[in-house]
Chains A and B, each alone.
Chain A
Amino acid sequence: MDTLIAIPVLFLTLLIQVTAVSRLPLLHGTADLVLLTLIAWGICTKTNNAWIWALIGGLMTSFVSAVPGLAVIIPYIVVALLAQLLHGQLWQSPILAMFLITILGSFMVQLTTMVFLNSNDIPFNFALALEAIIIPSLILNLFLSLPIYLLIKDISQWVYPIIEYE
């Protein structure tokens, strides 16, 4: 039941991503709200369902995006598991963990997309991609990571009020 909350939360996140965030680029990079939500959920909760959230988020995103499903789902699951792992290691400084995984996750998602482009013989300049897309996207993700973390923390405390304080 508590996993089902992922569907409305991620649906709303993806809706905002597609309609608003993707229209607000920094150079050519855009923030990834779904990724940030998955990271925040992995950090904020003590449950082991972060990978299910990542799977749902990846399926939803791949339905909307032209990027193939696996190129979205795999990095999302890896990042969510990483967030869950670091939740236990850096539990005293979750915000630091949020920033750290945001950096790693952003690179991972972007690199996976580039692998997809490369495998489809779509030419691109890596230096240009780094300068115009990857770094600006990372900056936007870092900028939005704190508010997303606070929002997801509230949601997680609403979903798991007893577990959090036990």
Chain B
Amino acid sequence: MGSLKRYVVKRLLQTLVILIGISAITFFLSRVAPSDPAALWVGLHARAEQIEKARKELGLDKPLHIQYLIYMRDLIGGRWGTSYRTRRPVIEDIINYLPASMELAIAGQIIASLVGIPLGVIAASKKDKKIDHASRLFGILTVSIPSFWIALMLQIFFSRTLGLLPLEGRLSSNVARMNPIERVTGFYLVDSLLTGNFVAFPDALLHIILPALALASYSMGLSLRMTRSTMIEVLREKYIVTARAFGIPENTIKFRYALKNAIIPTLTVLGIVFGWSLTGVFLVEVVFNWPGLGTYTWRAILAVDYPVIVAVSIIAALIIVIINLILDLTQVYLDPRVRL
């Protein structure tokens, strides 16, 4: 187990290096921007002297590396800056908007998994038969759909033509006024149930359906393809065939050998797909005016809101890196071959 510890430590150190690298990249990128946040901070008809003053106040007149050091120091200390656009601490904004994005990503993930994984397994088990071809085609087609376009099409069809589902947002304005959801986790579906708000729950549910579907359209195909290929790999592995040939009981094969090895790639599937969702969420949020991190970041980018851009990049990278780390560590734990 000593080598496991060493591996874990090594990976953690590498993760740290990666995170520092990301923070440096984002920081310097944002400082290189061809626009002046000091000017934005002050306002549209500002005078030159006011802009200069703001630049000093915001610390933008110091040399770049000093700015970076100050920034890193604040970052570690939990002071992630104030958004130039909303004038609120970035951390506060992120806490406000993150649950919305996560709820959407998870909802999309659930739909995608419920469709993609079983289909992928079926396709694998009936390989090369009609069902396999059909499923694979389905997988490839769904991956080719532009998420923002399908979002608009869903809006047109379900909202405009059929009038069944709401056009955008997380909650209808009426419900938001009359039966506001008390915040516990920030997940509307969870919170409304937890606080017994049975007016808001169906409303929130109706609102999340279309965006989650739009999001799931891509992940569905991805899940399907990857599940299928990993299943095929596992089923074909020589050791399975050999084990069977040797007359080892089927159950033992399933639980001790096949399952363990099927989990690893499936976890990777999960990680990759979820990681993708975090970026896929972006476009869908914009179309549905979903008040999540995606819309927040997009507006920040357009407004050259440095603190937000850097903070969100680091957080998003952090999430992905952590997920990868967990996946890698689980993989190492389960499969001794992978250890370096």
Q: Do A and B come from one complex?
A: no
Q: Which of A's residues lie within 8 Å of B, judged by CB?
A: none
Q: Which of B's residues lie within 8 Å of A, judged by CB?
A: none
